[in-house]
Structure 1
Amino acid sequence: MSRPWTADLGDGTYRNPVLNSDWSDPDVVRVGDDHYLTASSFGRVPGLPLLHSRDLVNWTLIGHALQRLEPAADFAVPRHDCGVWAPSLRHHAGRFWIFWGDPDHGIQQINAEDIRGPWSTPHLVKAGKGLIDACPLWDDETGEAYLVHAWAKSRSGIKNRLTGHRMSPDGRELLDEGTVIVDADTIPGWFTLEGPKLYRHDGYFWIFAPAGGVETGWQGAFRSKEFTGPYEERVVLAQGRTDVNGPHQGGWVRTAAGEDWFLHFQSRGAYGRVVHLQPMRWDAEGWPVIGDGGEPVPVHTKPAAPEQPVEAPAVGDDFPGGRYGRQWQWTATPRPGWTVEHAGDGLRLSCVRTAYAHDLRALPNVLVQRLPAEEFTVEADLVLHSDEPGANAGLAVLGDAFSWIGLEAGADGTPRLVHRHAEGTAEHERDAAHPRAAPGGRARLRIEVTAGARCRFSADTGDGFRPSGQVFAAAPWRWVGALLGLFATAPAGTGPAGTAEFSAFRTGG
C-alpha cells in the first residue's frame, strides 16, 4: 500500500502540513545541515520522539529520547493528558538538550552527545505543580544561561504568565527564585499565554509564545534588551483569511543557507496537532514576519537545502524479526511479557489478563501510533492463538470514544469476528455488529478513514471484505488526537491466555 501523505510536491515546492499527524507542540534545532524535531508525547512510552530532516519538509522518525516515564507508578496505567508537555530541543557545548514540563511533577532535563543517544536519565530542574513548557537559553554573548516556563492553571491556579530564571551552565539547577517576565493579564486582548521558546537575536532576548487557546489562538513574539524585561509584544502569525485555525506554538530555525523558518502546529480535532512550515523574515523594525504577511501559507517554495528523498515518518510495518517499528508507542510503561519473541516476522502479542478487558482506554498494553493523514486506509492481518473464552485481539481507533474490530474466543473457545465500540461517556464497550464465524481464527482487518475522521470498518474472514457496523467518528482525548492501536487481552484470571499474531500492518492514501 502507498504512503498516506507526503508534503514534498516534487517540483521544488511543498504543501502544508509538512507533518500531517499529531506531532504536538513541535520544537526544532539545526546542527550543521541537519534539522531535528521533538514533540509532546504525554503519557505514551517511549516518549520524546526524535525526527530528522535536511530540508524541513521531508521528515523521518529516528527514535525516542525517553524510554520510560517517572515516577514509574504514575505511568503504569494510561494517563493520556499527563507526562511530557511541550519539550524544547537545543544543541549546546557539543550536546543535545531537551527540557520539558511535567504538569504534576516539575521541569525535567535530559541530554546526549548524539541525537540517537544514549540519553541521560531525567533530572528534575525545578519541582512543582503546574510548571510547563520549559525552554533554556545559553547566551553565547555573555556566557550566562537562562530558563523560561509557563504555567498550567489546572495544577497551579496560575496562567497567562511566563516565569524566567537564571540557570547554571550545566543545565542542572536554577540560580534564583524566578521572576514573572511577561504578565499577559496586562496586555489587552491577550489570554492563555504559554509555550515559550527563548532565543537571542540582534541584541534582544526573544520569546516566541502562543496565546489565545489551542483552537483559535495566534503566535506572539516578545523582545527585550534585558532578560527580565520589560518586553514589548507583537502578533506575528494568525489565521487571517486562511482556513488554518489557531496557528501557533512551535520553533524558529535558521538553516545553513541563512534562511529563517518557523514550524508550528494546527489543532485538528481527532487528527491531533499537525505541523506546518512557514517562511519567516525580519521587517524594517526588526520584528519577525511569519508566513505570507503574518498568515499561514498552503504551498511554498522549499527551503534552500541539500537534496533529500521524498519521505514521511513510517506508518506501515511488517514487523521484521518479530519487532515493531519506531512509530509505535505503548499507552503506559510496558512490562515484560506483553510481546513474545520469535525467530520469524510478525508481531506476537500476549493476551494479557486484565479487569479492564472491555475498555481499551484503561488498558496499558495497547500499541498505538498517530493517524497518518486526513484520509487513508489501514489493514492488518490477525491470527488469534487462544481458546480462552473472552480472549480477544484487534485493530482499534482509540480516543475518548473508541471502536475496534478483531477476533474473540467464544464461550466454547471457538474464534469469531467481533466489532465493538464505546462512546466517550460509556464505561464499557458494546457490539457494533453481530459476531460472525472466523474459520481458523484468522481475519484481515480494514479501517477506511475519510474527511472528518469518519471510520468505516470491514473484515475478510476468507470470503472477501465485508463492511461491519456503522460509520464511527473518531474522537480525540484531551490534548491528544485519536490513535490507531493493536492489542490483545483476556479476562482476569491466572495462567497464560494465548497470543495474537499480527503479520502485517499496511497503510495507503
Structure 2
Amino acid sequence: MRQLFIIFLYLALAQAVSAQVWQPDQGDGSYKNPVLYADYSDPDVIRVGNDYYLVASSFTCQPGIPVLHSKDLVNWTIINYVYDALPLPRYQQPQHGQGSWAPSIRYHNQTYYVYFCTPEDGLFMASTKDPAQPWTLTQVKQIKGWEDPCPFWDEDGQAYLLHGKVGAGPAILHKLAADGKTLLDEGTLIYQNASRQPVLEGFKFLDKRDGYYYFAAPAGGVGAGWQSVFRAKNIYGPYEDKIVLHQGRTTINGPHQGGLVQTQTGEWWFMHFQEKVAYGRIVHLQPATWKDGWPVIGQDDDGDGIGEPVLTHQKPNVGKTYSRAAPQTSDEFSSASLGLQWQWQAAPNKAWYALDGRAGTLRLQATPVPTDSGSLAYAGNLLLQKFTAPAFTATTKLALHAAAAGDRAGLAVVNGSYICLERKGSQQHISIYEQKKNGWNKLFPPTVAASLPTTATTVWLRVQVAADATCAYS
C-alpha cells in the first residue's frame, strides 16, 4: 500500500483572533513576555531609522530565515524570508538539525546583510537594499563544522567576521573583504575558556564603546544557560568576560542568545530566546542598561550585577505609540501566493501545490513518503506553520479527490499523531494515527488509533492545543 499524503486545507481560527493569537502588548503602555510565543530560534535584531528587523533560524524549513518587522520591539509581523530554498540538492528532502543556524543581521552602507552557517555546508551571506524585497544569497565558504557567524565593520572601514564551531567551541575572528563575500585569512582564536564559559555559541558583535570592542555569546547550554558579554581594547583580545543575564529566581529558563539594540530615544533592549520544548524557542524582550562598562540585562534586584528576566515591563520608548500586531496565522488562500506564515519541510517544489485565489482553495499534490517508516518527519511536502500561542485551536476544511488506496489527507502536529481522511480500498475513512518515536532517527511506522468509515468527501478537522502542549483531534 502506498503511503501518500495530501493536505488540502483552509486554516481558520475557531474563535476570535484575540483568543487564538498571543498578544504581548497589554494596551496600557506595558507588555508581557514572551513577545513572540513561537519558535523564532536564535533571534538577532537591528534598528534602521524607526524600523526594527528580526531574523531567526529555520533549520530544515524553507523558505528560510524569516524576516520580521516591528516599530516598537513588541508588535511583530513577518515581511519576508532571506532565501526561498537553499541551493543544495540534499535540501530537496528534509534535513533535520541541518539548514540555517543562528543568523545575524546588520546594516552597513545602505545595505542589509544576513550571515549564517549550515553545519555541513559552510558560511553564507545574503544582502539586499530592502529587507521586504528579494535577497541575494552567496556561499562565502564551503566548510563543515562552523556555526553562528556575525560581521562587524570597524571605524577604519575594515570588516571582520566572528564565528564558532559546531559543538559550541571557541570564538574565531577573520578579516572580511569589503563586499562581505570573501574571508581574507584563516582566522584567529580570540576567546576560549570552557571552565568559565562552557558551550559557548551564538556570537554577536555588539558595539565599539568607550575604546572597548564588545561581543555577546551565550554559554551553559540551551535549556539552562546564561548570557555573557566579552570586551577588549584590541579586537583580537585579550577579552574579559562577564555574565549579564541568567535565570536567577525566575521561571525563565536559559535566557540567552539574541541581540542588543538601541532605540531612537537612547534606551537599550535585548531580545533572546527561551527553550519551551514543544513550542520551540520563544522570544523575550528585556530592558538593558550600562553600568561600569558592562550591560546589565533584565532587572538586577539582588544587586549582584547579573540581570534576571522580566515577565512584564513598560514598552520601549520609541517616540510614538503603535497599534498591536502579531505574526500572521490564518490564511483563506485568497491570493496568488502562500502567506508568509507558511514553510515547507524541505526546499519548495512548485509541483506540490496550486492556489486558486478566487475560490479560496489550496490544492496539494500527494507524494510518497520517502522512507519505510511512513513518518511525516521525512515528507518534504508538509505545509507548516509554527505554534502560535500556549493554547490555541486550528481548524481545517479538507477534501480528498481522485484518491487511490492508501492516500491520506490530514492535519498534523509534526513529530506527533495526526488526523486524516484516507482511502481504504474503495471506501473513505476518518482515521487518527499515532507516531511512536525515539528522536528523529528512530521513528516507527504510524499505527491506527481509531478509524471510522465515512461517505463524506469533504470534512472539517480540528486540533486543540492545550497549555501543556497536549493535542486533541476532532
TM-score, normalised with respect to structure 1: 0.85
Q: Which amino acid aligns with 1:211?
A: A
Q: Which amino acid aligns with 2:200?
A: L
2:315 to 302, 308, 320: 302
Matching residue of 1:276: 284
Matching residue of 1:38: 55
Alignment partner of 1:330 is 2:344: yes
Matching residue of 1:195: 202
Aligned residues with identical type, % of pairs: 43
Alignment partner of 1:142 is 2:159: no
Matching residue of 2:361: 346
238-247 or 378-387: which moved more?
A: 378-387
Partners of 2:176 and 2:147 in 1: how far apart?
16
2:186 to 177, 182, 186: 177
Please list every run of at least 4 consecutive aligned residues from structure 1 whose deviation after the TM superposition is greater than 6 angstroms.
none
Matching residue of 2:146: 131
Matching residue of 1:312: 326
Partners of 1:165 and 1:355 in 2: how far apart?
41
Matching residue of 1:161: 170
- The answer (yes or no) to whether the contact 2:370–2:378 under 8 Å persists in 1 is no
SS at match of 2:351: coil
Partners of 1:56 and 1:398 in 2: how far apart?
30
Q: Which amino acid aligns with 1:300?
A: H
Partners of 1:355 and 1:127 in 2: how far apart?
28
Q: Give deviations 1:393-444, integer Å, cap 9, x for gaps.
A: 1110012xx21112001201x22211112121342101121x1133331211
Q: Which amino acid aligns with 2:86?
A: L
SS at match of 2:385: strand
- The answer (yes or no) to whether the contact 2:369–2:378 under 8 Å persists in 1 is no
Partners of 1:86 and 1:197 in 2: how far apart?
10
1:286 to 293, 300, 308: 293
Q: Give the number of the structure with larger relative contact order, counting CA–CA contacts within 8 Å between residues 6 or more apart.
A: 2
- Evaluate the alpha carbon distance shift between residue 136 and residue 322 of structure 1 in structure 2; reply closer, same or farther with a 3 A threshold: closer
SS at match of 2:354: coil
Q: Note the C-alpha offset of 1:356.
A: 4.3
Matching residue of 1:470: none
Q: Which amino acid aligns with 1:226?
A: N
Q: Give deviations 1:176-215, integer Å, cap 9, x for gaps.
A: 2111101123xx4421001110132322111110000000
Alignment partner of 1:376 is 2:392: yes
Partners of 1:271 and 1:106 in 2: how far apart?
28
Matching residue of 1:242: 250
Matching residue of 1:493: none
Q: Give deviations 1:353-391, integer Å, cap 9, x for gaps.
A: 445483101111001111111111111111111331111
- Evaluate the alpha carbon distance shift between residue 355 and residue 74 of structure 1 in structure 2; reply closer, same or farther with a 3 A threshold: closer
SS at match of 1:111: strand
Q: Note the C-alpha offset of 1:322.
A: 6.4
Q: Note the C-alpha offset of 1:67.
A: 0.9
Partners of 1:322 and 1:457 in 2: how far apart?
30
1:221 to 219, 225, 229: 229
- The answer (yes or no) to whether the contact 2:21–2:326 under 8 Å persists in 1 is no
Matching residue of 1:265: 273
2:454 to 438, 453, 470: 438
- The answer (yes or no) to whether the contact 2:24–2:31 under 8 Å persists in 1 is yes
1:251 to 250, 259, 263: 259
- The answer (yes or no) to whether the contact 1:261–1:279 under 8 Å persists in 2 is yes
**Unaligned stretches of 5+ in structure 1?**
154-158, 459-509
Partners of 2:435 and 2:129 in 1: how far apart?
45
Partners of 2:216 and 2:317 in 1: how far apart?
24
Partners of 2:250 and 2:165 in 1: how far apart?
30
Q: Note the C-alpha offset of 1:220.
A: 0.2
- The answer (yes or no) to whether the contact 1:65–1:116 under 8 Å persists in 2 is no
Alignment partner of 1:210 is 2:218: yes
Q: Note the C-alpha offset of 1:54.
A: 0.3
Partners of 2:82 and 2:420 in 1: how far apart?
33
TM-score, normalised with respect to structure 2: 0.91
Q: Give deviations 1:275-304, integer Å, cap 9, x for gaps.
A: 000000001x11100001100000000001
Partners of 1:311 and 1:451 in 2: how far apart?
22
**Unaligned stretches of 5+ in structure 2?**
1-14, 301-306
Q: Give deviations 1:128-159, integer Å, cap 9, x for gaps.
A: 211110000012x2211111001103xxxxx4
Matching residue of 1:6: 23
44-53 or 386-395: which moved more?
A: 386-395
Aligned residues: 443
Alignment partner of 1:421 is 2:430: no
Partners of 2:254 and 2:369 in 1: how far apart?
40
Partners of 1:265 and 1:333 in 2: how far apart?
26
Partners of 1:333 and 1:303 in 2: how far apart?
38
SS at match of 2:174: strand
Partners of 1:355 and 1:291 in 2: how far apart?
47
Partners of 1:327 and 1:14 in 2: how far apart?
23
Q: Which amino acid aligns with 2:214?
A: W
- The answer (yes or no) to whether the contact 1:332–1:364 under 8 Å persists in 2 is yes
Matching residue of 1:116: 132
Partners of 2:172 and 2:234 in 1: how far apart?
14
Q: Which amino acid aligns with 1:439?
A: T
